[in-house]
Each structure stands twice: as structure tokens, then as C-alpha cells.
Amino acid sequence: MEDIPINVLDIVILVVAGLSAIVGLIRGFVREVLSLAAWIGAGWLALTFYPDSRVWTLGYIENEMWASIVAGGGSFLFSLVVLTIIARLISKMVQSSALVGPLDRTLGMLFGILRGAVLVILGYTFTMMLVDEDSKKPQWAADSRLLPQVEEGAVLLLDIVPADITLPELEFELPDEDIEDKSGADTNDEFGYTPDEDIGQFLKQKLRDQMTPENE
């Protein structure tokens, strides 16, 4: 096993990128982009109409927490279904063209590779969030040839996070006993996050603490 030029982690990274590329090749660039746009659009519509849908939902569900969940989830799912149907109709029109079809699939494969890389970076970022800062990186991770690039990509990705982003506050009330237990807490005990802290900078520092020395 020591003579193998690529380790298990590198294989996993390549498999994720490869599968994403194959999916992109099959689905095509237009469908991939429109599908992504459908998810983003559904999220935007859900946030936009959430206040009104929550008021309407409260007329049928007394529990504020469940009313909020149903309002947000229902708005998102409805928007996603509608936008996905529109995206598929447009993509079928594009792929049916003899001239655009091959180009669409080639660009879809490139898009799939990029998406696979982003998925790996996101997975690594959130994994490092759960790892203790004093823990030693496993040897199979330290020997990875692709992990340094993933780490740099994670830092670059966090640079995109707007500086004014903070964790959202819930709009439903907790039971009295939970309020009493957490009345004096202003940070997340598990991750050390302060509600008023820049979430991008917090994640970036947490990630840098876990990076290999040569990438710091």
C-alpha cells in the first residue's frame, strides 16, 4: 500500500469530482446551471415570502415553531418544484438542437468538475469545524497530494462570504426552561461562535488552525 502513488483521500476527492463531471455531461450545462438557479431562486423566494406565509400558516397551526417550519419549508418546496419544471423545459429545448447539444454537454462536464471541487471544499470545511484544534491530522490526510489544494480552496471560498453575515435568529419562542438555561449564554459553547461575530472570519480562522503547516 505504501508504494501506491495516491492515497485513499485523493481517490475519494477524484471520485467525487469524476461523478459530478459524469452527471454534468449527461445533464448538460444549461440544465445544470438552471437547476442550480432553481435552488437559489427557491431559497430567495422562500425568504422573500416567508413573513407573509408564516402569518397565514399561524392561522392553521398554533405552535409557532411548526408554523415557521411549515411556512419556510412549504414556500421553498413549492418554488423549487415550479422552477425545476421550467428549467427542465428549457434544457430539453437546448439539448434537442444538433449544433448546441454537444457543446452543452461538454460545458456541462466542465461545470460538473467545478461543482465536484466545490462540494469537496465545502465538505472539508465543515469537517474541520467539528475537529478539535489540538487534534493531530491523520497520516492518510497528511500524505494526501490534493488536500493542500482543497485547503487553499476552502480559504478562498470563505473570502467570498460577506463580512456582515451573522447567524440568523429564530422567530419562535423557546420553552421557559430553555430560556432560563440559556439566558446568560452569548456564544456557542461547542464552536465558540459569538452571535455578533463575522461568520466568514470565524470559519476562516477555525479552518486555518487545522491546515497543514506548509499552507499556513
**Closest by Cα among 26, 35, 39 to 107:** 26
Over the stretch 170-205, which tens digit does the pLDDT of each residue have?
Answer: 444 444 444 444 444 444 444 454 544 455 566 666
Please tell me the distance from the alpha carbon of residue 216 to that of residue 211, in angstroms, as a whole number. Answer: 7
Q: Does position 209 have pLDDT exceeding 80, yes or no? A: no
Q: Looking at residue 18, what is its pLDDT?
A: 94
- 141 or 151, which is more confident? 151
Q: Per the structure block, which three cell numbers stand in for 185?
A: 449564554
Q: Per the structure block, which three cell numbers stand in for 98?
A: 444538433
- 142 or 44, which is more confident? 44
Sort residue 80 into left (φ over 0), alpha (ψ -120 to 50) or beta: alpha
- 121 or 212, which is more confident? 121
Q: Per the structure block, which three cell numbers stand in for 32?
A: 445544470
Q: Which of 34-43, 118-127, 166-175, 180-189 is predicted most confidently?
A: 34-43
In angstroms and rounded to an integer, the radius of gyration of the C-alpha atoms of the chain is 22
- 108 or 172, which is more confident? 108
Q: Which distant-in-sequence residues (6+ apart) come within 8 Å of 144 by Cβ? A: 7, 9, 10, 13
Q: Quick one: DSSP state of residue 174? A: P
Contact between residue 67 and residue 61 where contact means Cβ atoms under 8 Å apart? yes
pTM: 0.60
Q: Does position 71 have pLDDT exceeding 60, yes or no? A: yes
Handedness of CA 73, 75, 79, 81 (dihedral sign): positive
Between the alpha carbon of residue 116 and those of residues 18, 24, 196, the distances in Å are: 7, 10, 32
Q: How far apart are the first and last CA of the chain?
A: 29
Averaged confidence pLDDT in the chain: 76
Q: Looking at residue 207, what is its pLDDT?
A: 62
